Amino acid sequence: MGEARGTQVEIEVTGIAHGGISVGRLDGRVVFVSDAIPGETVVAEVTDDSKKSFWRADTVRVLQASPHRRDHVWAEASVDRAPEDRAGGAEFGHIDSAHQRELKRQVITDSLQRMAGIDRDVVVEALPGAEDGTGWRTRVRLHVSESGVVGPYAARSHRVIPVESLPLAAAEAQVIAPLSEQFTGADHIDLVVPSVGNPFVLQGSADRKERPKAQRIVERVGDREFRLDVRGFWQVHRDAAQTLTTAVQDAVDENLFDPRAANLDLYGGVGLLAAAVGDRFGNHVRITTVESDPHATDHAAENLAEWVGANAVTGRVEHYLRGVLKDAGAAERDRLTRATVVLDPPRSGAGKQVVDQLAELSPQQLVYVACDPVALSRDLALFAGKGYDLTGLRAFDLFPNTHHVEAVATLVRR
C-alpha cells in the first residue's frame, strides 16, 4: 500500500458513481477517476491507494475523448491545469449540459434500484438559464487563505485557489466578487444576490463567537415575497424556488389532500414549501412548519401569516415528532392520519428515526424533496417497509455543472 500513489496509469472509464466521480478498472481493481467521462480513455494520477478494494485518481490527460466532452466552462477548473490547482465546485463543467443530466439520471435510477429495489426511470429536467449551465448561483462562498487570498477551495481540498472568474455565479455576484482583494480577519466571503434589492458581500469568521447581526432580505417567488436573514438558507439557483414550489404543488395528490388535517412541512426553513401547499389549496389550509433554526422560524411565522391555520415551530424534526406521538389525543391522531407531509431534509436524508416516527403517525401521503439520490433511495426503502409506495418522481437540474441533482418524490400509504 502506498506504492502506487503519484504514479500515472491508463484507464478506460466505464461508468459514473454517486458524487460525480467516474469509474474504471485497472487489473481488476476499481478506480474512481475525477474529471473523466464514461467512455473515455484517460491517463490518471493515483492520489489514494490506501484501500485494497479501490483507488482514487485524477485525470491528467485524455487519450480518447467522449463526444460529450467540451472545453471546461471554468478555465481555472480545466483538466489542462495540475489537479491540485483546479478550482472545485464545477466537477461536471467539462461535460455538455444534456449529457450531465443523463449522467445524473443514471445515478438516480441506479441508486433507486440498488438501495430500494425500485426500477423506475426519471427525466432530469433543465431549469431556465444559459444552455451551458453558467450564471445561476445567487449564493457563492469564497474562502480566504492565511495570506489573505480569496478564492474557492481546490477540489476535495481546503486549499484556496486564486481565480479570475466565477462563471457559475449570477452576473450580479460576478461584478461584486472581490477576487483580487486581500482580506484579514475573515476566513470566508459570502456573495448573496437576492431577487429583490442589491447584492451583498459578507465577511465571515469561523472564530466568531456570536452570530452576526441579522439583516433581512426579500426573495420573490411568483407574486409572493419571503423575508429571511441575509445569511439564512435559500435555494441557490435563481429559478429553484419557483421550480420546487410548482413541483411540490403538482406532487400533492389532491384526492388525498385534506386542508383540515394536521398537515406538516418538515425542515421547513422560512416556509417556502408550506406556502406552496397553501397557495394551491387555499388560505383555510392547516399546516405546521418545523425548522431547527429559530431565525428561520421567526421569518416563517411572518411569511405564512395569511394562513389562519399555519403555525411555525422551532425544533429538531425528530424531537417535534416525538412530542406529537407522545401527546396527541385521538382527535389529533385522526387529523394526522389524514395529513399530507412535505419534508425537505438535509443532504443526509430523513433517516430511520424520522421515517419510523412518520410511519407511526401514518399520514395519507408524503412529498419528499431530496438533494441526494442515495439518501433518498435509502429512505424510500425504509418507507416501503412501513407501507408507503412511490407513486411519483421528478428530478431537476438545480445545480448545473456539478454532480448535484434535486428530486421530488410522492409516497402514498397503502
- Give the pLDDT confidence of 213-240 residue by residue, as tens digits: 779 999 999 999 999 999 999 999 999 9
Q: Residue 50 domain-assigned?
A: yes
Q: Distances in Å between the alpha carbon of 16 and those of 54, 72, 156, 196? A: 15, 18, 17, 39
Give yes or no for a contact between 5 and 48, defined as CB atoms under 8 angstroms apart: yes
- Strand ranges for 197-352 from DSSP E: 200-204, 216-221, 224-229, 263-266, 286-291, 309-314, 340-343
Q: Please check whether residues 343 and 405 belong to one and the same domain.
A: yes
> Which residues of the chain fall short of a pLDDT of 50?
none
Residue 207 pLDDT: 66
Alpha-carbon span 41 to 314, nearest angstrom = 52
* Number of domains within the chain: 2
Q: Residue 309 domain-assigned?
A: yes
Q: Residue 183 domain-assigned?
A: no
Q: Residue 153 domain-assigned?
A: no
Give yes or no for a contact between 342 and 265, defined as CB atoms under 8 angstroms apart: yes
Range(s) of the domain holding residue 63: 8-69
Q: 133 in the Ramachandran plot: left (φ > 0), alpha (ψ -120 to 50) or beta? A: left
CATH number assigned to the domain comprising residue 30: 2.40.50.140
Q: Residue 62 domain-assigned?
A: yes
**Boundary residue ending a domain (53, 69, 85):** 69
Alpha-carbon span 43 to 333, nearest angstrom = 60
Alpha-carbon span 225 to 303, nearest angstrom = 8
Residue labelled with grid coordinates 425537505? 344
**Boundary residue ending a domain (44, 69, 94):** 69
Q: Residue 180 domain-assigned?
A: no
Is residue 46 annotated as a catalytic residue, yes or no? no
Residue 208 pLDDT: 57
Q: Please check whether residues 119 and 18 belong to one and the same domain.
A: no
CA nearest to 168, candidates 139, 144, 192, 146? 139
Q: Please check whether residues 65 and 109 belong to one and the same domain.
A: no
Residues of the binding site: 235, 267, 291, 344
Q: Residue 212 domain-assigned?
A: no
Q: Helix or strand or coil: residue 311?
A: strand
Q: Please check whether residues 54 and 113 belong to one and the same domain.
A: no
Q: Which amino acid is at 321?
A: L
Q: Please check whether residues 62 and 109 belong to one and the same domain.
A: no
Q: Please check whether residues 287 and 360 belong to one and the same domain.
A: yes
Q: Distances in Å between the alpha carbon of 143 and those of 88, 149, 159, 162? A: 12, 8, 9, 10
Q: Please check whether residues 20 and 125 belong to one and the same domain.
A: no
Residue 184 pLDDT: 86
Q: Which of 248, 275, 287, 371 is catalytic?
A: 371
Residue 211 pLDDT: 57
Q: Please check whether residues 322 and 404 belong to one and the same domain.
A: yes
Q: Please check whether residues 306 and 260 belong to one and the same domain.
A: yes
Alpha-carbon span 162 to 86, nearest angstrom = 10
Helices (H), 177-239: none
Alpha-carbon span 381 to 205, nearest angstrom = 40
Q: Please check whether residues 306 and 404 belong to one and the same domain.
A: yes
Residue 230 pLDDT: 96
pTM of the shown model: 0.95
Q: Which three cell numbers stand for residue 221?
A: 417567488
Q: Please check whether residues 122 and 231 belong to one and the same domain.
A: yes
Alpha-carbon span 336 to 351, nearest angstrom = 20
Q: Distances in Å between the alpha carbon of 53 and those of 9, 29, 111, 170? A: 17, 6, 20, 41
Residue 212 pLDDT: 63
Q: Which three cell numbers stand for residue 354?
A: 424520522
CATH number assigned to the domain comprising residue 250: 3.40.50.150
- HSE-CB for 380 with a 13 A CA cutoff: 32
Q: Residue 382 domain-assigned?
A: yes
Q: Which three cell numbers stand for residue 181?
A: 482583494
Q: Please check whether residues 315 and 405 belong to one and the same domain.
A: yes
Residue 155 pLDDT: 87
**Boundary residue ending a domain (20, 46, 69):** 69
